[in-house]
């Protein structure tokens, strides 16, 4: 008994020491920022929320298509023939812009409406949003992060908001025992409850990844941390989280990193799958368990930042894009961006690849059912971390998916370009894709293109909005300009010689 008490006391002491150290580092950074003229990010966020409260009336108007963005949410309207978009970010090489736009896309007349409501949530990215038809329609938003213009500060949210669609009203929900501040988490609606899993918290001094599960009861307005039995998924962010028809929840993939030594992090791209399911022997509905699951069908290569959305029946998920970094040598990184559209049958737990066709040709789905592939392995080879300030991706062995090969052979069939963290939503059998980002050398090209495809006919992608002048959106950093200037001077010098 005495030994246990000592261990417990020791743990608390270590925790207090860590908190003191973090506080000292935080205060030191605040002093340094004050000297540069940049305000503390907590003050910035508080001021934004205060300004939103000052808004006196609802403003609703038709606008041009949304600006370039990634790490936003795009979901189907719970009742109307519309899509709902909220938040996101844009980085031009010098500064980061965060959004709290609430925008509705009217499918029938191809128009965009923005709704500005008093007391809206502060700008954010890396959050989650789900919709329900209850009480005239509701949009629920949890978490995410805010970044300073210079990307020297990050603020993670742990707030929960609801937008009442019929009333055009935002409400911040105050309920105890919710998840800690985080972004990159996932959230789904299942049996009148919000389920939140995973995510990360990174303030540039330390980071932490999560694998906890919280539920929010939409009738009782109560948070609860689930005590789940079984072997849980390792902590991660950016995974695919899907509700199934039979009341279970599927977790696939994701990303995490661990600190090996000072200033050296090791990244892991996860490609395993787990089912969160109710305990059959429990009549209260409070007991859940993790079950490790092997997915069969077509092989999907490891990747980060793949977007996913479900059909209304919760029977099939559509996933698009992602990235995997390949280390050519100690200094060069070659990022492999994907533009394959992958289908996951959540009834059979089976992957397929969508192959768009022309005209009335019968829809094709790459489906190697006879070749059951175990996709539970992790990428654990020596890796190097590439951090864009919000989502971190890793370097590892190059892997080419069969989907990429199929597209190489069918170059005549149009496919949206490779990208990460785009918006995906399905409404009335049509899959919509908006925005995202890809890298072009040192440039991060954020997109504002918009496409649709009939998932039943599986014909060619339709371009709703073409991305124009995307390269001009990248201003570049001061170091890039200096490097470019240096290269220009060297070139002129060689010409003179």
Torsion 472-477-481-483 (CA) sign: negative
pLDDT the model gives residue 331: 53
Residue 149 banded pLDDT, cuts 50, 70, 90: confident
pLDDT band at 469; cut points 50, 70, 90:
confident
Q: Average pLDDT for residues 308-335, to the nearest whole number?
A: 81
Q: Residue 432 above 70 pLDDT?
A: yes
Give the span between the Cα atoms of 454 and 488, in whole angstroms. Answer: 48
Residue 489 has pLDDT above 60, yes or no: no
Structure token pair of residue 389: 């300030």
**Average pLDDT of the segment spanning 175-198:** 97
Average confidence (pLDDT) over 58-80: 97
For residue 375, the model assigns a pLDDT of 39
User: Among 200-209, 262-271, 437-446, which is the least confidently predicted range?
Assistant: 262-271
Please name which of 216, 194, 182, 52 lies closest in space to residue 121, comparing C-alpha atoms: 52
Residue 381 pLDDT grade (very low, low, confident, very high; cuts 50, 70, 90): very low
Provide the mean pLDDT of the chain.
82
Q: What is the mean pLDDT of residues 136-162?
A: 93
Fold classified for 48-481: Neuraminidase (2.120.10)
pLDDT at 330 over 50: no
pTM over the 0.85 mark: no
With beta carbons less than 8 A apart as the criterion, state whether 226 and 250 touch. Answer: no
Residue 409 pLDDT exceeds 50: no
Q: Which long-range contacts (CB under 8 A, 24 or more apart) does 223-227 make?
A: 223/175, 223/176, 223/177, 223/178, 223/179, 224/177, 225/177, 226/288, 227/287
Walk across the sheet containing 111-116 and list its strands. Answer: 59-63, 111-116, 102-106, 82-86, 73-76
- Give the total residue count for the chain: 497
| Of 180 and 205, more confident | 180
Q: Which of 69-73, 300-304, 453-457 has the lowest mean pLDDT?
A: 300-304
> Mean pLDDT, to the nearest integer, of 96-102?
95
Can you tell me the mean pLDDT for 90-108? 95
| 254 neighbors 289 (Cβ within 8 angstroms) | no
**Strands 228-229 and 288-293, sheet pairing:** parallel
Of 54-68, 151-165, 258-272, 373-387, the poorest mean pLDDT is in 373-387
Residue, of 476 and 455, whose pLDDT is higher: 455
- Beta-strand ranges (E) seen in 117-221 are 128-132, 138-142, 145-147, 154-156, 160-164, 169-173, 186-190, 193-197, 200-202, 207-209, 213-217
Mean pLDDT of 427-438: 97
Contact of 177 with 218, CB cutoff 8 Å: no
pLDDT of residue 16: 46
Residue 336 CB coordination number (10 Å): 17
DSSP bridge partners of 142: 128, 160
Residues 285-304 pLDDT 10s: 789 999 999 999 999 999 98
Measured over all CA atoms, what is the biggest interatomic distance in the chain, rounded to whole angstroms? 85
The residue ranges of every structural domain in the chain are 48-481
458 vs 81, higher pLDDT: 81
- pLDDT recorded at residue 85: 98
pLDDT in tens, 348-373: 999 999 988 876 555 555 555 433 34
For residue 386, what pLDDT is reported?
40
At 40 the pLDDT is 84
- Residue matched to tokens 């059959």: 280
Q: What is the pLDDT of residue 196?
A: 98
The pLDDT, as a whole number, for residue 380 is 36
β partners of residue 98: 89
3-state secondary structure of 89: strand
Which one is predicted more confidently, 106 or 25? Answer: 106
């Amino acid at each position: 008994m005495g030994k246990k008490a000592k261990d417990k006391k020791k743990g608390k002491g270590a925790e207090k020491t860590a908190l003191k150290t973090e506080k000292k580092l935080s205060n030191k950074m605040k002093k340094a920022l004050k000297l540069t003229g940049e305000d503390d990010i907590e003050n910035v966020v508080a001021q934004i929320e205060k300004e939103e409260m000052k808004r006196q009336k609802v403003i609703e108007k038709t606008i041009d298509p949304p600006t370039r963005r990634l790490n936003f949410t795009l979901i189907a309207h719970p009742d109307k023939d519309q899509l709902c978009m909220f938040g996101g970010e844009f980085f031009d090489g010098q500064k980061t812009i965060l959004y709290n736009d609430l925008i509705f896309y009217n499918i029938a007349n191809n128009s965009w409406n923005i709704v500005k409501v008093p007391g809206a949530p502060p700008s954010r990215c890396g959050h989650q949003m789900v919709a329900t038809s209850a009480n005239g329609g509701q949009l629920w938003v949890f978490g995410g992060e805010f970044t300073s213009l210079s990307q020297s500060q990050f603020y993670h949210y742990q707030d929960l908001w609801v937008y009442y669609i019929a009333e055009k009203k935002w409400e911040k929900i105050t309920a105890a025992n919710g998840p800690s501040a985080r972004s990159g988490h996932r959230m789904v609606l299942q049996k009148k409850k919000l389920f939140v899993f995973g995510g990360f918290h990174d303030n540039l001094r330390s980071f932490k990844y999560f694998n906890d599960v919280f539920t929010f009861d939409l009738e009782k307005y109560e948070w609860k941390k689930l005590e789940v039995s079984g072997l849980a998924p390792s902590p991660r962010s950016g995974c695919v989280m899907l509700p199934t028809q039979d009341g279970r929840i599927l977790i696939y993939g994701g990303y995490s990193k661990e600190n090996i030594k000072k200033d050296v992090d090791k990244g892991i791209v996860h490609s395993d799958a787990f089912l969160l399911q109710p305990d059959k022997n429990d009549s209260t509905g409070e007991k859940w368990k993790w079950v490790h699951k092997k997915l069969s069908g077509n092989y999907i290569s490891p990747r980060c930042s793949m977007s996913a959305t479900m059909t209304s029946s919760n029977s099939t998920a559509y996933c698009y894009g992602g990235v995997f970094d390949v280390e050519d040598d100690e200094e060069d990184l070659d990022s492999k961006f994907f533009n394959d559209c992958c289908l996951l049958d959540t009834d059979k737990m089976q992957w397929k690849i969508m192959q768009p066709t022309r005209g009335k040709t019968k829809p094709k789905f790459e489906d190697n059912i006879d070749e059951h592939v175990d996709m539970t392995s992790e990428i654990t080879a020596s890796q190097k971390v590439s951090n864009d300030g919000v989502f971190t991706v890793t370097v590892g062995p190059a892997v080419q998916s069969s989907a990429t090969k199929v597209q190489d052979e069918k170059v005549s069939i149009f496919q949206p370009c490779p990208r990460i963290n785009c918006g995906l939503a399905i409404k009335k059998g049509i899959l919509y894709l908006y925005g995202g980002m890809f890298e072009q050398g040192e440039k991060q090209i954020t997109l504002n293109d918009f496409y649709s495809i009939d998932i039943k006919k599986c014909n060619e992608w339709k371009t709703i909005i073409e991305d124009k002048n995307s390269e001009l959106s990248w201003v570049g950093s001061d170091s890039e300009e200096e490097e470019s200037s240096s290269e220009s001077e060297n070139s002129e010098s060689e010409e003179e010689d």
